[in-house]
Structure 1
């Protein structure tokens, strides 16, 4: 099956969208690539929280690692908190350190 893909930053810029406050990433093993395509959007201070499901087996199958996904989020200034797991997948919440709990 052929699927058209686009960088998230391009989509946000072309449509003049505001950066999201919260972002959910669940892309079946390509989590280590997603922050690269959203680097500009996720770097905006308005984006203060990301929820991510990391598929450890699938990510290895396509040539990446869970550590790469975590490192990309940390390079963007997010602090990670482990939320739990399901089978070989695990969940993290990435938050900007200056984010108030009430937001």
Structure 2
């Protein structure tokens, strides 16, 4: 990720959680860059906000968005899974059926709509870590991610969650979509895709 980012870049952290990578990105983009961090889980968003507000530098270069990105606008239920006794579980995720368990209602929007509504610039580099909703994020951001200004998409693929959601060859469809948008796609390891141009 560091090699993909140039000082002055606009970086999106989709699924920012408590801000580990958001902080790295702010260091790497420098004073002329910007990092937009998306995190729907309220407790994680509070921790993210605190982490950024206490930074020694570049904290004003962060735009924090308390929402999930997907292929529709509206609301969804986000798991409040504390089975590992953590306040901000790393595996918390959107669920399609609210009857499956307790959860928290969160705001959902598409990348394309957020760019317009929030007057955001097209990102140069995007990190996506969304627990099985990777394809949904891409489908909601065709204009954004297909834009030539967007040079890199770094995507964590959650195969187990994709299987749970019965999405079939979601990964194959994502690779095909990324190539259609003009990216070269390679596997960094068994669960991370890097699309670049």
User: TM-score, normalized by length of structure 1?
Assistant: 0.81
How many residues are treated as equivalent by the alignment? 92
1:92 aligns with 2:193: yes
Is 1:36 the counterpart of 2:139 in the alignment? Answer: yes
Secondary structure of the structure 1 residue equivalent to 2:157: strand
Q: Map 1:24-63 to 2 at 5 A.
A: 24-63=127-166
> Alpha-carbon deviation of 1:73?
1.6
Shift of 1:72: 2.1
1:81 maps onto 2:186 in alignment: yes
Note the aligned Cα RMSD (angstroms): 1.2
Match of 1:14? 117
State the Cα distance separating 1:81 from its structure 2 match. 1.1
What CA distance in whole angstroms lies between the structure 1 residues aligned with 2:122 and 2:109?
A: 16
TM-score, normalisation: structure 2: 0.44
Q: Structure 1 residue 15: deviation in Å?
A: 1.7
For residue 71 of structure 1, report the CA deviation from its aligned partner.
Answer: 2.0
Larger radius of gyration: 2
Greater relative CO, 1 or 2 (CA 8 Å, sep 6+): 1
The alpha carbon displacement at 1:44 in A equals 1.1
